[in-house]
Structure 1
Amino acid sequence: MLSLATAVPPFSITQDAAKALGRELFAGRKALYDRLQGVFDNAGIDQRNIVAPIEWYGHNHGWEERNRVYLEAAEALFVEAATKAIAAAGLSPGDIDGVVTVSTTGIATPSLEARVGPAMGFRPDVRRVPVFGLGCAGGVSGLSTAARLASAEPGSRWLFVTVETCSISIRLDTDDPAALVATALFGDGAAACVVGGDAPGIATIRDSAEQQWPDTLKIMGWRVEDPGLAVVFDRAIPPFVNDNLASAIDAMLAKFGLARSDVGRLCSHPGGAKVVDAIEQALELGAGSLDLEREVLRDHGNMSAPTVLFVLERLLKRGLPDNTLLTAFGPGFSCAGLWLERP
């Protein structure tokens, strides 16, 4: 890994303002709001960045309008994060041999890297690998894919970019409790990394693994509906993590030739405060061990796939231990893992 950069959209909202807005927007569903309003207070979030002015969220929007906002914001976030990552690697856009793009919150055909490539200065022969459907696991799975492609062609340099605009999926036309939970959790952002080449980097990607559990498709994901995507958040996520994470992590580490005692730091996607608590409990890390995860959740909310890379960015500034395990949960229900080594 030669570089890592992050980007957030220009609009922001505090959690207190989001709670007040939620009370207003869900006024026609007072019983639902009264039952679930505590999620705003217990989410561990102070503020979030969002891709549209606050007034935009007070109106119902269909697919066309939501995706218009997605395309405009995702292209801008892609360019910002990618430009910073390429510069931090000491490269120019023309040095990039391939691009892996992960995004699951909108539809872009042509894909995002094709839409911004000419303006950024990518070569006409740059390879493109757009990936849809990974959800929150996309930050780890996408980086793993870029690393495997780079290792398959020694000396090549691959750019990985993940952009998510979760906030545009906020819905006012449903009694689904997950819709109100999304209003309390979702933020927007992007992250980018350059991997490959021969120069020493900021971290060495050693291996990756994934675990998918059968009969869990309804735990997390999107439902495709007429007004737009509808979030699927099952209340079973934290207890499922508590019951199943340890065995999945042990299996991944065994594949890497490691044990839990070899891992200096777990770097995990903070999907929510209860999920972070469940990770600590499942792996016996001790309450409060995942401090950087809580910091990112506090400052940015759940941005889906990019979020774990915001955590990694802070860990790199603090100092990477000898061995770090990146993890993220996603639709499937799945867990993606990536072994990073201090260079």
Structure 2
Amino acid sequence: MSVKINTVDKQLPKFSRITEEILPFLDTWLHGQDERFIRKVKKIFESALVDKRYSIMDPIEVFTNTSFESRNDIYVREMIDLGEKVLVKALAKANWKPTDLDFIITVSCTGIMIPSLDAYLINKVQLRQDIVRLPVTEMGCAAGISGIIYAKNFLQANPGKRAAVIAVESPTATFQLNDYSMANIVSAAIFGDGAACVLLSSQEEEGPEIVDESMYHFYDKIHMMGFKLTNMGLQMVLDIEVPETIAFHFPNIIHPFLEKNNLSINDIDHLIFHPGGKKIVQTVEDLFGDLGKNIDDTKEVLRLYGNMSSATVLYVLERIMDNQPAKGEKGLMLSFGPGFSAQRILLQF
């Protein structure tokens, strides 16, 4: 019994700025800092491979010293709005009714809300009262693929059902105004806000089939990525070891997974990779390049939107699906997140 991805859609917040428009805000934020440090920070923004960032807040709000409570209130309000909009868009694109859904998974790591987003969507979109809900809150950038894996397992065990995975993220809401660490600066340079929705089905429907899925967990690398909860909010943890660690584990992440399905990287037509940031993208591009493959769609999503945490890989998937791959072509989805872990999905179009 196969599980297929029927539809992917996205929703962007109302505020956006190109990189050149962000630089004057950096002058205000970094006022009083060493001139060499200021030049270094601007260089990081200018060379981040991100042309434009979308945000749930106006840049003036982002660079205003507000409380964690105030920022989280904005996060809750805007995540509910983005989640509702992207779910409604995806349902319309698939020609599904809200009551067609049997399972809803909501994904986010950039704020705190209880009840979780799925509870709000049940009311706002009038989903069924017996819908099964699962919030995924602490898997970071990997959670978009994680959500699809959980949905696939549910659908495989329940033929004739339908599921939605909704990823909503605002890394902007985690920006720390009083933190001048490289982790905070680099994350501000590469991240943006956004939402995406994936609709899946174990009915007879069109769309790529999920052939296989797997998680890969790195030992003793918990320190590399995540958030630390401080009085000012969620403080980014981002170790400089991340690209090197990915490169070291890359053969074990890719080849055994494909071999289990009697495939090699040569059999993969579409690489659907999460754009974690400039250094990670360049590292993985070099690795895939050595294997004769490209991650052009990944780089384009990073350029157009930045890293939107869990939602970003779903933007790459949408680009691939919109290009209507030929029947029988195969795709490999890949993302990395806190833990440290890698998430993988094999698709057949």
TM-score (norm 2): 0.94
The answer for the alignment partner of 2:242 in structure 1 is: 237
The answer for the alignment partner of 1:334 in structure 2 is: 341
CA contact (8 A) 1:246 1:282 kept: no
For the residue of structure 2 that corresponds to 1:305, the secondary structure is helix
Percent identity reads: 31
CA contact (8 A) 1:2 1:200 kept: yes
Give, in whole Å, the separation in 1 of the partners of 2:182 and 2:38.
Answer: 9
For the residue of structure 1 that corresponds to 2:222, the secondary structure is coil
The answer for the alignment partner of 1:303 in structure 2 is: 308
Cα 1:61/1:251, change in 2 over 3 Å: farther
**1:254-273 counterparts in 2 under 5 A?**
254-273=259-278
TM-score (norm 1): 0.95
Give, in whole Å, the separation in 1 of the partners of 2:257 and 2:58.
Answer: 42
For the residue of structure 1 that corresponds to 2:33, the secondary structure is helix
**What is the alpha-carbon root mean square deviation over aligned residues?**
1.6
The answer for the alignment partner of 1:129 in structure 2 is: 134
Structure 1 residue 259, shift from structure 2 partner: 1.7
CA contact (8 A) 2:288 2:294 kept: no
**1:268-307 counterparts in 2 under 5 A?**
268-285=273-290, 289-307=294-312
Give, in whole Å, the separation in 2 of the partners of 1:339 and 1:4.
Answer: 16
Structure 1 residue 115, shift from structure 2 partner: 1.4
**Bigger CA drift: 99-108 or 314-323?**
314-323
For the residue of structure 2 that corresponds to 1:84, the secondary structure is helix
Give, in whole Å, the separation in 2 of the partners of 1:91 and 1:142.
Answer: 20
Task: Give structure 2 stretches of 5+ with no counterpart.
Answer: none
Structure 1 residue 288, shift from structure 2 partner: 8.6
**Bigger CA drift: 273-282 or 7-16?**
273-282
The partner residue of 1:27 within 25, 31, 46 is 31
CA contact (8 A) 1:243 1:282 kept: no
Structure 1 residue 286, shift from structure 2 partner: 6.8
Give, in whole Å, the separation in 2 of the partners of 1:200 and 1:157.
Answer: 10
Structure 1 residue 285, shift from structure 2 partner: 4.6
Give, in whole Å, the separation in 1 of the partners of 2:339 and 2:272.
Answer: 21
Number of residue pairs matched?
Answer: 342
The partner residue of 2:97 within 75, 92, 99 is 92
Structure 1 residue 35, shift from structure 2 partner: 3.2
For the residue of structure 1 that corresponds to 2:95, the secondary structure is coil
Cα 1:28/1:152, change in 2 over 3 Å: farther
Matched residue type, 1:290? I
**1:153-172 counterparts in 2 under 5 A?**
153-172=158-177
Structure 1 residue 216, shift from structure 2 partner: 0.7
Give, in whole Å, the separation in 1 of the partners of 2:334 and 2:287.
Answer: 13
Give, in whole Å, the separation in 2 of the partners of 1:201 and 1:319.
Answer: 11
Give, in whole Å, the separation in 1 of the partners of 2:109 and 2:215.
Answer: 19
**1:172-251 counterparts in 2 under 5 A?**
172-251=177-256
Matched residue type, 1:204? E
The answer for the alignment partner of 1:63 in structure 2 is: 68
The answer for the alignment partner of 1:312 in structure 2 is: 317
CA contact (8 A) 2:84 2:124 kept: no
**Bigger CA drift: 329-338 or 245-254?**
245-254
The answer for the alignment partner of 1:49 in structure 2 is: 54
Give, in whole Å, the separation in 2 of the partners of 1:139 and 1:28.
Answer: 40
For the residue of structure 2 that corresponds to 1:340, the secondary structure is strand
Structure 1 residue 308, shift from structure 2 partner: 0.6
Task: Give structure 1 stretches of 5+ with no counterpart.
Answer: none
Give, in whole Å, the separation in 1 of the partners of 2:220 and 2:38.
Answer: 31
Give, in whole Å, the separation in 1 of the partners of 2:107 and 2:95.
Answer: 23
Give, in whole Å, the separation in 1 of the partners of 2:298 and 2:324.
Answer: 15
Matched residue type, 1:335? A
Structure 1 residue 199, shift from structure 2 partner: 2.7
Cα 1:244/1:33, change in 2 over 3 Å: farther
Give, in whole Å, the separation in 2 of the partners of 1:317 and 1:132.
Answer: 28
CA contact (8 A) 1:26 1:33 kept: yes
Matched residue type, 1:15? T
Give, in whole Å, the separation in 1 of the partners of 2:24 and 2:10.
Answer: 29
Structure 1 residue 197, shift from structure 2 partner: 3.6
CA contact (8 A) 1:157 1:197 kept: yes
| CA displacement 1:135-170 (0-9 Å, x = unmatched) | 011111111111111111000111111110111111
Give, in whole Å, the separation in 1 of the partners of 2:247 and 2:27.
Answer: 32
- 1:75 partnered with 2:84: no
